């Protein structure tokens, strides 16, 4: 499986499992277990998802050494202290450290929580720190004050949300861009262009969308609770999209190549 180098020297898998909107308890445990059995080594959760304990339980019960799994959670910026919340996350997850700790969105501005994030890093609670849903402008503002640079920006990203300017800015700054909801929460799977390419390649539409992200140099975290789809979503390293397929997918963008992390209408904080 492809690995991407982070600024802190560690590597992040190019494909992982996201558990946004996965119910705490058996559903999360089964999804994480299925992913780990299929070969995934990146699991992404968040304080706001309410399923960290189930993620941790599935990881422990997998029998896979903790050091072989890349574990991400996210600071809920409605809270006051990233360090205190990281300690709570570690307790819920049942682990001594995170591989990546992200600010979930830039509520209150992009810089106020960063000193607390850096404290998490220097204390060894997380190997890496980063952000989510940040625009290019917010990344630049953060870079001006950061002593420890952000390693990742996790954003809504797919051929339909091909944020070219944001990707370019992240690449220039040395950040890895990570794509959440690369399948558009399922909406993109029925698109005619995606379907045509999938049929030509003998692949699923989900595999086409995930492979597109991998070829753009992203880390991609599709979500599924179905074992068969979890397995299929990981089987994207034995084929490539040709230039014509990539161009056809690129043309599906609805964001005009934006540098924004989120559309103004989807910002849920004030």
Active site residues: 49
Please answer whether residues 182 and 154 qualify as being in contact, where contact means their C-beta atoms are separated by less than 8 angstroms: no
Nearest to 22 by CA among 14, 11, 33: 33
Distance, CA of 61 to CA of 191 (rounded, Å): 38
Whose structure tokens read 């917010």? 138
- For 97, phi then psi, to 5°, come to -155, 160
Pair of tokens at residue 72:
């991400």
Length of the chain (residues)? 270
- For 100, phi then psi, to 5°, come to -155, 135
Collect contacts of 231-235 with beta carbons under 8 A, ≥24 apart.
231/34, 231/38, 232/204, 232/206, 232/207, 233/15, 233/206, 233/207, 234/15, 234/35, 234/38, 234/39, 234/40, 235/207
Distance, CA of 3 to CA of 69 (rounded, Å): 13
């Amino acid at each position: 499986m492809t690995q991407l180098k982070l600024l802190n020297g560690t590597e992040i898998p190019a494909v992982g499992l996201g558990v946004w909107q996965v119910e705490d308890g058996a559903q999360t445990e089964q999804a994480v277990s299925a992913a780990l059995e299929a070969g995934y080594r990146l699991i992404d959760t968040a304080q706001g998802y309410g399923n960290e304990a189930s993620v941790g339980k599935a990881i422990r019960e997998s029998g896979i050494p903790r050091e072989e799994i890349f574990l991400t959670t996210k600071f809920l910026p409605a809270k006051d202290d990233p360090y205190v919340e990281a300690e709570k996350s570690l307790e819920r997850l049942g682990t001594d450290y995170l591989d990546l700790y992200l600010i979930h969105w830039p509520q209150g501005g992009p810089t106020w929580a960063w000193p607390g994030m850096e404290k998490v890093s220097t204390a060894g609670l997380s190997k890496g720190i980063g952000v989510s849903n940040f625009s290019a402008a917010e990344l630049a503002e953060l870079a001006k004050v950061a002593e420890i640079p952000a390693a990742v920006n996790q954003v809504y990203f797919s051929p339909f949300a091909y944020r070219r300017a944001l990707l370019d800015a992240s690449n220039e700054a040395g950040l890895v861009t990570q794509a959440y909801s690369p399948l558009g929460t399922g909406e993109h799977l029925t698109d005619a262009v995606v379907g045509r390419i999938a049929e030509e390649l003998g692949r699923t539409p989900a595999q086409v969308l995930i492979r597109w992200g991998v070829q753009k140099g992203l880390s991609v975290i599709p979500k599924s609770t179905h074992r068969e789809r979890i397995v299929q979503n990981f089987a994207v390293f034995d084929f490539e999209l040709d230039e014509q397929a990539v161009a056809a997918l690129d043309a599906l963008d609805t964001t005009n190549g934006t540098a924004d992390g989120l559309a103004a209408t989807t910002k849920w904080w004030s």
